[in-house]
Chain A
Amino acid sequence: MPTLNKNQVTSTSVLQVDITSAQTMLIISGIAIPEYATPANDGNTYLTPFTVDLGVYALEVLQSSVTVGLCDITSNNGAFQFSADEATVSLGGNGKVSLTLNLQVLGQSTLHRFSYQVVLLVKPAASKVKGSIKWNQDLWDLAQTSQGIPSSLKNQLTIAIVKLIPPPPGELGGSQETVKTGHCDTFTHAAHSGTCEAGFEIDGVPFGETLSVQVLTGSDFKAPSVDFLTVVQTSGPSSFELTPEHSSVTCDFLITTVTQPK
């Protein structure tokens, strides 16, 4: 069955509405571009099912309502028929929600585009990226406070969840886009070992994207004069894709120094 991915839809929008703590309403609208043409102008009606990847994830679909309609059709001199109907919503094994419908075309005709609007009541899937960041107090001697975490921690450590965008075919490189940022919410200073450790948990990380975690340090971190600071990932995947089944990942980091080559 032909599946239309996110590159074959336009005018897409998703509303996420909180109904209760356990139920979320998702309203997904868009225009799909199947470019479905009759293989022959022989008086027969041609029918094919199409699937649209809606780009949303859920643990369970509790209720759904679908509207589809014609958007862009072309026909040349003669009898014609177009239809987009029998639309249904399904939840895949990976928690991905899809729209399936039948397209019918008669005559020398093409159904280029159709509109869809899907209203779902779902049990939402929660995602999380968590981990820790350690450094030697020589780099930034941050004293532990008796109440909560030090206020300066937020300005000095930023955790960025970045989406990795591969290069076009035949090209090198690629790019990245920050999809979520967060800060540390725990802090400990082990005086006996001279080690500082901050922990983070970031919720609401997008599903279905190739992501990685980056740690950005502030100017309070100081490296010895001949060295420069670097952040090394010590555990966890360097890149990952979250799904409702695998909705959490842990990545740990170490802020350290590297001696500049002479």
Chain B
Amino acid sequence: MTDYYQPLHNIAPAFSGPPTDVPLTFAGAIPTWPPTSYAPLYIPVAGPSPYNSLVLVRTVISGTTGSGPSTQGMAFDLTTNFVFPGYDFRNAGEIAFRHSSIVYADMFQATEELNFDFDQTQVNSGFFSDTGNWTISVNFFGQISGAQNPGEISMRWRMWSWILCYLPPAANLSPP
């Protein structure tokens, strides 16, 4: 996918709408386009034991939300295209890995003057999903209010994750 700025009218309007006194609810997921993932970068390393590889995973994710008076809070998962070679969810606990990850905003756009609180508060955890995809769990809070007309804001986040792990020598490391 192309990773560039998208004008507002191209954004899926899933959560845009008029100001409301009813808190918006996000059914367990933040409104997003499908994430844009870059090909993972695999780097052989000398250690520490038992690790032999450092994998850099990058993802871009975007979303739109409408205005509302209440603070919205949720935890959501950013799933990436790094699939652990030979992953079997029944043996997920046997995979030794460590990671260092960040999520940050690199685009913010509002349709009009708004009061807003845009808050990605913390990176909770990193794990491999049932399909073996590297996933980061993030806490997010947001509040938008003060619009005279139906308003919305759109946001884009970037995620950088470095994963120290052991990859079998014969692993197929081609990106999907």
Contact = CB atoms under 8 A, between A and B. Distances in A.
A, B co-complexed: yes
Interface of A: 10-11, 13-20, 25, 27-31, 67-78, 112-117, 119
B99 A115 contact: no
B61 interface: no
Contacts of A116: 102
Interface string B119-130: 111111000000
Interface in B93-131: 98-106, 108, 113-124
Q: Which size class do B's interface residues fall under?
A: 20 to 34
In this complex, which of A25, A27, A114 has the most chain B Cβ atoms within 10 angstroms of its Cβ?
A: A27
A13 B47 CA distance: 18
The 5 closest A-B pairs by CB, nearest first: A69-B104, A18-B47, A115-B104, A72-B119, A13-B100
Nearest to A26: B100
16 contacts: A17-B47, A17-B51, A18-B45, A18-B46, A19-B46, A27-B100, A67-B104, A72-B118, A72-B120, A73-B117, A74-B116, A77-B114, A113-B119, A114-B104, A115-B102, A115-B104
B102 A18 contact: no
A116 to B, nearest CB: 7
Chain B interface main SS type: strand
Contacts of B18: none
Contacts of B86: none
Contacts of A76: 115, 146
A69 B48 contact: no
A62 to B, nearest CB: 16
A16 B48 contact: yes
